[in-house]
Structure 1
Amino acid sequence: MLRSVVNRNSVKLLKATVEHAQLCVRNRSSLPLNTVILFVPQQEAWVIERFGKYKQILQPGLNVILPVVDSIKYVQSLKEIAIDVPHQAAITSDNVTLTIDAVLYLRVFDPYKASYGVEDPEYAITQLAQTTMRSEIGKIALDTVFRERESLNIAIVDSINHASNSWGIKCMRYEIRDMSLPPKVQEAMQMQVEAERKKRAFILESEGKREADINVAEGKKKARILNSEAFMTEQVNQAKGEAEAQIVKAQARATSIDLVAGALQKENGMNAVSMNVAEQYVDAFSNLAKESNTVILPANSGDVSGMVTQALTMYKTLSKTTNRELDVKEIKEVQSVTGDEKL
């Protein structure tokens, strides 16, 4: 078993060494021919050595060198390039393993440092990006990784630029393309999301029910207020109507009394009143005779003329009393005006 583990590690190391060697050979094989007249393309920098020592950097355009003495050692592209960062595992602060796939954008700003400061700039910057990413991931929790992805990218770029400044390379952007979680963690997160959705749905449903109950209660309250106001208005109107009816009845009664009083002052007025009282007396006894109830009658109930005379006598007595009270009232009013108490 130990032998198999050693073999796997040896295979990985050999594969990485072969890829690095192929990259170095590719860079060296892409060097232009060493001629007298050289045309350097735009956004490229050619590093020239004389007798194995750095001499100069050729700028874009026409350049002249000595073929035997000078040689083109490095060709650096000043364009921004994108490098795929291999998949790598990182552990968050809450001990969750993530597999991250990212892409790195960089640019050479100092051809001299990029040529002599590091053996293979692309390989070095890729390894630096991987280690920096693992370090930054280890500082935050899993939820923060998804929520602050942009902040994580910026932190990784700042850390890479701090170390790659001596290489003449600047990291422009670092973008995380994909993050893979273990299956169990994905299931747990899915359950958490479903629980959160159910919670929100329950809260929304309860809030909707509460709003509905409040609306119903408000409607009942307003309906009761309107009913009470309508009942109050009805009672007020009814009272006003009854009061006006009483006033009208009283006015009609007063008018009828005035008419009767005027009629009594006329000739034969008393005879007419006597006849009217006698008719009412006879009608009253006729109505009593229609019922089978027991009624207590006065001893002289058959004497109609006597009853009429008695009624007229009572009327005259009341009239005299009323006239006397009116005279006394007028005398008091005159005394209050003139101030003469002996009048």
Structure 2
Amino acid sequence: MEIALLLLVIAAVFIVQSIKVVPQQNAWVIERLGKYHGTLTPGLNFLVPFVDRLAYKHSLKEIPLDVPSQVCITKDNTQLTVDGILYFQVTDAMRASYGSSNYIVAITQLAQTTLRSVIGRMELDRTFEERDVINSSVVQALDEAALNWGVKVLRYEIKDLTPPPAILHSMQAQITAEREKRALIAASEGRRQEQINIATGEREAAIARSEGEKQAEINKAAGTAAAITAVADATADAIGKIAAAIQQPGGDQAVQLKVAEKAVDAYAQLAQKNNTMIVPGNMSEVSGLIGTAMALLKGSNAKN
């Protein structure tokens, strides 16, 4: 009974040692008699008990790694404290196990040295403007070196760039001065635009007034022309009617009578309005005119 129980325990140990279940997105490195034998993939795997040994376990997920902050010297000899974060992924479990004793420490140290080198080639102002250039330079340098470690560096991001307090104060003063300058420029541009708008408005108003006056003169001239035309048409119509009446029988005598009456009335008016007596130069013309008028008047009465 004891022997059976012992055999059962040994069998259970063998089963536990021989069966390995690897989770998803993981890779386990197996050594056989101290030598690399293979890499277990996710799922159910079988080992040779007491011969195969599980040496390393690696996660194949993307891993964020906080790179400690450090002081870098820029090209213009300014100290700059830089803090960043690195994202990497294990792509080769065998190289990650044997390529480096500690690939995380290696990546961290290489990221710091590469960052100091990149920032050392830039001036202070450029470090704030070209973060993407710094990030890509660090990733490129790390990715080349990390191939032997079975690691793929995906990206590097600078979290913070902190200059010394004196430099930070100077930068703040510069920013304040720049903003004040922009405010003054904006105010002057506003005044300039205001003057332009006022001048434009006055010009347009003057043009509108002149156009109105011009149209008024045109309308007035058109009205005067229309009145003259109407008077001329009326005069022409009256003259036509008079000419037509003259063509009728007795028209000439009527015209002569009318002219004689007007002449007599005119002389009478002159005599009433002036103290000086006006005597025609040729009295025979006046007497003849009066005689003609009387003859025409008698003829008209005889007909009636």
Question: How much has 1:189 moved relative to structure 2?
Answer: 4.4
Give how far 1:166 is off. Answer: 1.4
Partner of 2:95: 113
State whether residues 95 and 149 of structure 2, in contact with CA within 8 Å, keep that contact through their aligned partners in structure 1.
yes
Match of 1:63 among 46, 58, 61: 46
**Distance (whole Å) between structure 1 residues aligned to residue 75 and residue 219 of structure 2:** 77
Match of 1:275 in 2: 261
For residue 282 of structure 1, what is the amino acid of its counterpart?
A
The aligned residue for residue 253 of structure 2 is: 266
Residues 270/173 of structure 1: CA separation in 2 closer, same or farther (3 Å cut) = closer
How high is the sequence identity, in percent, across the aligned residues?
31
Determine the C-alpha separation between the residues in 2 that align with 1:133 and 1:283.
124
CA RMSD, Structure 1 to Structure 2 (Å): 3.6
Q: 1:132 aligns with which of 93, 114, 118?
A: 114
2:63 matched residue in structure 1: 81
Residues in 1 aligned to 2:192 and 2:223: alpha-carbon distance in whole angstroms: 46
What residue number does 1:176 align with? 158
Which residue of structure 2 lines up, in the alignment, with residue 149 of structure 1? 131
Query: Between Structure 1 and Structure 2, how many residues are aligned?
Result: 270
Higher mean C-alpha deviation, range 163-172 or range 258-267: 258-267
The 3 A distance-change label for structure 1 pair 278 and 159 is same
Counterparts of 1:137 and 1:199, CA distance in 2: 35
| CA apart distance, 1:47 | 2.6
Change (3 A) 1:122 1:224: same
Q: Tell me if structure 2 keeps the 8 A contact 1:99–1:181.
A: yes
Local SS of the residue matching 1:42 = coil
Is 1:247 the counterpart of 2:229? The answer is no
Match of 2:198 among 204, 207, 213: 213
Greater relative CO, 1 or 2 (CA 8 Å, sep 6+) = 2
- Distance in 2 between residues matched to 1:142 and 1:286, nearest whole Å: 115
Scaled by the length of structure 1, the TM-score of the pair is 0.65
Q: Structure 1: 5+ residue runs without aligned partners?
A: 1-33, 290-294, 314-343
Residue 150 of structure 1 aligns with an amino acid whose one-letter code is D
Pick closer, same or farther for the CA change 1:248–1:286 going to 2, 3 Å: farther
Equivalent residues in 2 for 1:1-343 (5 A)? Answer: 35-60=17-42, 61-67=44-50, 69-182=51-164, 183-195=168-180, 197-198=182-183, 201-202=186-187, 204-206=189-191, 208-209=193-194, 212-213=197-198, 215-248=200-233, 250-251=235-236, 254-255=239-240, 258=243, 265-266=252-253, 270-271=256-257, 273-289=259-275, 298=278, 300=279, 306=284, 308-309=286-287
SS in 1 for 2:96: helix
Render the CA deviation track for 1:101-157: whole Å, top value 9, x for unaligned.
211111111122212221211111011112222223334444444444334323322
Preserved CA contact (<8 Å) 1:278 1:304 = no
Aligned residue identity for 2:211: L
